[in-house]
Amino acid sequence: MSGTDGRTTALTSRMGSVSERLEAIRGRITRACERVDRDPASVQLLAVSKMQPAHAVAEAADAGQQLFGENYVQHWLGRVENPTIVALKGIHWHFIGKLQRNKIRFLLGRVRCIETVDRMKLARELSNRALARGGGTPQHVLLEVNLAEEPGKAGFSPAGLSATLGELLTLPGITIDGLMSIPPQREVAEASRSDHRALAALRDRLQEEQGVPLPTLSMGMSSDFEVAIEEGSTRVRVGTGIFGPRPPRA
């Protein structure tokens, strides 16, 4: 089992170039998969590029990285107009931050997945705006779960999601691919194992209750992605492990 903790990840993030760190992360993903007899191709790596300079994103893309995650709508809008970013081919964006309903219009049809649908009102608004926009292609989303039901933290409670998933699945214009979570911060990666295991168990139960596939489990970040993979994650969100320390938000 993985013994990686936050200190090891922080050390790794300071070593080498973006492309070298990216290669190291891919190697760790492969080894984590091997430990639990999984195909490494079953795990997507989402590079969390929020607040990172355009040249760092370009270096990751040149090294073969295709999926990038952004947290702030306004910053992302400026990023995708940056000539360095515009010149990149074959990359896809996911939105992984808190989404206000008045910002939905900027994302629909432009990001591959909105991973932070954390409440019914937001899901309904996404559905309505997707239908009004037209085009025939649904917006892919994940449902954010607040597993520990932490006060002030976004996300459906497990019980709340069980009660509302049937309605969520009927909303036109969006496709629910699965679940995501941001568990409480732990001192060591191993301490997050129960959180990731709980999300996987919730997904399995919801699939059985609703009779629909929810194939995506977006869980695990720079400090604990190996443990998350061992517990079934299909998409890990890695920022500092690839890009190093995040610049301060302007």
Instruction: Tell me: pLDDT of 13 over 50.
Output: no
Instruction: Give domain status of residue 250, yes or no.
Output: no
Instruction: Give domain status of residue 1, yes or no.
Output: no
Count of residues in the chain: 250
Instruction: Give domain status of residue 248, yes or no.
Output: no
Instruction: Give domain status of residue 39, yes or no.
Output: yes
Query: pLDDT tier at 249 (50, 70, 90 boundaries)?
Result: low
Higher pLDDT, 228 or 245: 228
| Cα 224 → chain centroid | 14
Domain of residue 210, residue span = 6-243
Instruction: Tell me: pLDDT of 66 over 90.
Output: yes
Tens-place pLDDT, residues 143-195:
999 998 888 889 999 999 999 999 999 999 999 999 999 988 888 999 999 99
Task: Report the pLDDT value the prediction gives residue 187, as an integer from 0 to 100.
Answer: 84
Do residues 195 and 184 make contact, with C-beta atoms less than 8 angstroms apart?
yes
Instruction: Give domain status of residue 181, yes or no.
Output: yes
SS3 label, residue 84:
helix
Task: Report the pLDDT value the prediction gives residue 7, as an integer from 0 to 100.
Answer: 41
CATH number of the domain at 112, please.
3.20.20.10
Q: Is the pTM of this model over 0.75?
A: yes
Share of the chain above pLDDT 70, in %: 93
The DSSP bridge partners found for residue 7 are none
The DSSP bridge partners found for residue 235 are 44, 218
Instruction: Give domain status of residue 189, yes or no.
Output: yes
Please state the domain count of the chain.
1
Instruction: Give domain status of residue 173, yes or no.
Output: yes
